Amino acid sequence: MTVRTITLPDDARALALRQEGLLSSRQCDDLGLRRDTRSRLVADGRWARVTRGVYDVSPVSPTTPDGRRRRAAWLAMLAYGPDAAVAVGASALALHGVRGLPATIRPEAALPEGSARRARDGARARCFDPVATVPVGDRRIAGLADALVRTLPELPRRNGLAVVDDVLHRRLLEPDEVASLLGRMGRRRGVQRVRTWWPYVDGRAESPFESFARLECIDEGLAPDELQLEIRPPDDAGVVRGDLAWRLRGGRWLVVELDGEEFHTSPDAVLADRTRQNRIASVGWVDLLRFAWPDLGTLRIPNHVRRALTR
């Protein structure tokens, strides 16, 4: 039998799909995919050995940042498993579906009783005190609150703000639970950085893009007066909301609209953005500025806002 006749069993395909295209050696053994079969698939280029004991069996890697972050989390659990490793840190947040994380995260897992393992191929085994865990499929990951307490001090400012905004906006935790997180961080390294952005946490932010842009404006002394400003256009089609807004003289408002996200936006989403923005522009008391994801980090957003506020 040649390697080209090897077909991935349906149960193996389904398991790999749940794990972002990854399978561990033990899982392969349990599924009847023996070592010699795996070696031939790797040699043929149909599989790739990501790290010792973990294979990428998918011909197409995750194409979205969310998929790549989830893949990093699965890599950590499978590399340090096979069964006991718990996803922690940013890896746990990715599997909780939290938005606002950096585009690339390091695979991180914790082992029972703080068992020490050497970092390998980018994955890291962390020694944490026992944490509350929740199930994801047949694995376990750190609970959301514990994952936030341990991860936020390690994140860049804008990502930390976006993560907490998202948790509040989607009510992944109750507001009082979020309010307690800063105190729970104690004196961890990085907590002083968290304190620089914590006062700006706002669950009205509907996307990481809004959180990132708002923090850029705040850092330039241009904190918006409103988030999600309610606007009622004359078309009687209902209320529309502007992402960020500043008061102008004479009862007018400057509204900033943010188009798209960190990955390619679907045509339907582009059309919805355009329709909403055209409705905002139809209101006589609004000055509208529009920005896209590539404008982040260039100071174009705060610079244009400053000019609009001072003209």
Total residues belonging to the chain: 311
- Among 134-148, 163-177, 216-230, 293-307, name the one with the lowest average pLDDT: 134-148
pLDDT interval class at 124 (50, 70, 90): low
Give the DSSP H or E segment for 232.
Answer: none
Mean pLDDT of the chain: 89
For CA atoms 185, 189, 191, 192, give the dihedral sign: positive
Residue 260 pLDDT: 73
**Predicted confidence (pLDDT) per residue in 160-197, tens digit:** 999 999 999 999 999 999 999 999 999 999 999 999 99
Alpha carbon distance 145, 156 (integer Å):
18
* Residue-level pLDDT at 23: 95
**What's the whole-number mean pLDDT along residues 200-222?**
97
Statement: residue 263 has pLDDT above 60: no
Question: What percent of the chain has pLDDT above 90?
Answer: 68
The position carrying tokens 């700006």 is 200
| Domain limits, the chain | 3-56, 65-200, 208-310
Q: Give the global pTM.
A: 0.88
Tokens 């865990």 -> residue = 133
Parallel, antiparallel, or unpaired: how do β-strands 86-87 and 124-126 relate? unpaired
Q: What is the pLDDT of residue 122?
A: 58
- Token match 């994955």: residue? 123
Per residue in 81-90, pLDDT (tens digit) is: 766 789 999 9
Residue 40 has φ and ψ, to the nearest 5°, of: -70, -40
What integer pLDDT is reported at residue 127 of this predicted model? Answer: 62
- AA letter at 248: L
Tell me the C-alpha distance between 74 and 27, whole Å.
13
Q: What pLDDT score does 69 carry?
A: 96
Confidence of residue 262 (pLDDT cuts 50, 70, 90): low
Burial of 288: CB neighbours in 10 Å, binned 0-12, 13-18, 19+? middle
Model confidence over 58-102: pLDDT tens digits?
877 777 899 999 999 999 999 887 667 899 999 999 999 999 999
Q: Which residues, including other chains, have CB under 8 Å from residue 9's CB and lie 6 or more apart?
A: 31, 32, 33
Decide: 219 and 208 in contact? Cβ < 8 Å. no
Neighbouring-strand partners of residue 247: 253
C-alpha pair distances (Å), 107 with each of 16, 190, 247, 267: 17, 20, 44, 32
- Give residue 131's pLDDT: 78
Check residue 265 and give its pLDDT: 59
Kindly give the pairing relationship between strand 253-259 and strand 286-292: parallel
Question: Helices 175-184 and 157-169: crossing angle, nearest 10°?
Answer: 150
Question: Residue 179 is encoded by which pair of tokens?
Answer: 């309010």
Low-confidence winner among 23-32, 36-45, 104-113 (lowest mean pLDDT): 104-113
Q: Answer whether residue 135 shows pLDDT above 50.
A: yes
**What is residue 1's predicted lDDT score, i.e. its pLDDT?**
43
pLDDT number for residue 3 = 44
Q: How many other CB atoms sit within 10 Å of the CB of residue 111?
A: 18
Q: Alpha-carbon distance 95 to 46, whole Å?
A: 27
The pLDDT, as a whole number, for residue 192 is: 96
Rounded Cα distance between 60 and 158, Å, is 30
Give the residue among 62, 73, 58, 76 at the shortest CA–CA distance from 15. Answer: 58
| Calpha distance 194→153 (Å, rounded) | 6
Beta strands in 184-285 (DSSP E): 226-231, 240-247, 253-259
For the chain, give the percent of residues with pLDDT over 70: 88
